[in-house]
Amino acid sequence: MKLILAVVQDKDSNRLISALGDKEFKTTKLSTTGGFLKEGNTTLMIGCGDEYVDDALGIIKDNCSQREQMVAPISPMGGNADSYIPRPINVEVGGATVFVVPVDSFFQF
């Protein structure tokens, strides 16, 4: 058995959960925050048999889009903040950052 941890954008999460549910995958949705943008994103926990991992990855790929997002950079530490002119930068966010980890044991009491 594997545990798939998929960090996705909030905008994609409902569609993705529905698509996974349609194929009988069970999901748990966690509200998470990206360390870089400090904005909300969604992490899905998906427990499934090893033989279903590729199917799940395909559904995640099909339902998560890459987007560009403008970010205001943080002013430099210890630098001269007076002369610092923050210019927004474009970062590419998503589609999905996915970890597949082995599950030692699985219990439902």
Binding site for ligand 2BA (CB under 6 A): 7, 34-37, 41, 91-94, 97
Closer residue to ligand 2BA in complex, CB, 18/33: 33
| Among 43, 54, 46, CA closest to 8 | 43
How many secondary structure helices (H) and strands (E) does the chain include? 2, 6
The answer to whether the beta carbons of residues 2 and 48 sit under 8 Å apart is yes
Shortest separation between residue 92's beta carbon and ligand 2BA, angstroms = 5
Amino acid at 99: F
Shortest separation between residue 109's beta carbon and ligand 2BA, angstroms = 30
Shortest separation between residue 40's beta carbon and ligand 2BA, angstroms = 9
